[in-house]
Amino acid sequence: MSGCWAIFKREVQSTWLTPLAWILLTTFLLIQGGVFYSIVVHMSQVEGGVSGTGPIQAYFGQQSLLMALSLLLLCPALTMRSIAEERRSGSIEALLSAPVTSAAIVVGKYLGSLLTYCLMWLPTLLYFATLRETGTLHLATILSGYVGVFMVGAGYLGIGILMSTLAKSQFVALLLTSTFIFSLFILGIGEYIFDSAALRAVCGYVSLTSTLEETAQGIIDSRRLIFYFSLTIWALFVSGRVMDSWRAPA
């Protein structure tokens, strides 16, 4: 995996040197801040508090539709450039002629976008610092909530890298990733629609909203971890194979 570290560093550096990351960060934090603010204001206005839930659970879980929408915006936008832009500009040639494997390129680019994704979530820790002023925080629940968004984001960024490898234009990569993630989201809704128990189980297994609701309650289900982990590995493996097919005969 030699070269992976160099690609990872350049990916992070280039992302934050262009306006895209800052625009995304601002939009993302405006949405998240708005959601969190409305949750806290709503809960503070209900006399005696809202039973069975708190702002942390609501933020990570019950408002997961809003969370899904922000992930639908963030993940494709973070990965759309990574490989598609290199192909469009021609800089991919210098990269492919270097003594690095396709796996190192794909993993370096993926980890770069994953770090940027994590950095975008970092300021949301302040939300919980403000809650600390008014009550006690259940740190394990916060941690579990973050595990949820990390796990889902990791999977979706993997898909984003794959689509960026397949598409020559970053806009097409953005559309493909959004479509894929949105399809998974729609499939998840099937949990409440289908009659067949088996279909409901499958839909529940991939459901974004159920995943986030569970982790917001402090439940980390290994099946979901396995699903997102295998989704990531599959997407990165296919990306690597696609890249191999560009530069060596089958």
Partner 1 sequence: MIEAVELTKSFGAITAVRGVSFQVRRGEAVGFLGPNGAGKTTTFRMLSGTLAPHSGSVRVLGADLFESPLEAKRQLGYMAENAPMYPELTGTHYLHYRAELRGIPRAERAQAVRQAAARAGATEILGQIIGQLSKGYRQRLALSDALLGDPPVLLLDEPTAGLDPNQVLETRRLIRELSADHAIILSTHVLSEVEATCQRAIVIDRGRIVAQGSLDELKRHRGHERGRVQVRGDTQQLEAALQNMNQHGLDARLEATDQISTLEFELLAPGSLTEGVQVCLQAGLQLVQAGTLTAPLDEVFARLTQEHQP
Shortest Å, Cβ 241 to partner 1:
13
Burial of 129: CB neighbours in 10 Å, binned 0-12, 13-18, 19+: exposed
- Binding region for partner 1 (CB under 8 A) out of 2-10, 31-39, 177-185, 198-206: 2-10
d(CA 119, CA 104): 22
By CB under 8 A, residue 134 contacts partner 1: no
CA distances from 156 to 76, 89, 147, 223 (A): 8, 25, 14, 17
> Which residue is associated with the tokens 């894929």?
180
Per-residue contact flags (x/-) with partner 1 for residues 13 to 52, judged by CB under 8 A: xx--xx----------------------------------
> Which residue is associated with the tokens 């296919």?
238
Burial of 16: CB neighbours in 10 Å, binned 0-12, 13-18, 19+: middle
Shortest Å, Cβ 121 to partner 1:
24
Q: Which residue, 13 or 196, has its beta carbon nearer to partner 1?
A: 13
d(CA 228, CA 224): 6
- H helix count then E strand count, the chain: 13, 0
By CB under 8 A, residue 7 contacts partner 1: yes
Shortest Å, Cβ 12 to partner 1:
12
- Binding region for partner 1 (CB under 8 A) out of 76-84, 87-95, 185-193, 228-236: 87-95
Q: Which residue, 9 or 200, has its beta carbon nearer to partner 1?
A: 9
d(CA 76, CA 171): 10
By CB under 8 A, residue 221 contacts partner 1: no
By CB under 8 A, residue 90 contacts partner 1: yes
Per-residue contact flags (x/-) with partner 1 for residues 92 to 121, judged by CB under 8 A: xxxxxxxxxx--------------------
Q: Which amino acid is at 142?
A: I
DSSP H helices, 58-190, are 64-79, 84-89, 92-97, 102-121, 125-132, 139-166, 170-189
- Binding region for partner 1 (CB under 8 A) out of 66-74, 85-93, 133-141, 181-189: 85-93
By CB under 8 A, residue 1 contacts partner 1: no
Footprint on this chain of partner 1 (rule: CB under 8 A): 2-3, 5-7, 9-10, 13-14, 17-18, 89-101, 245-250
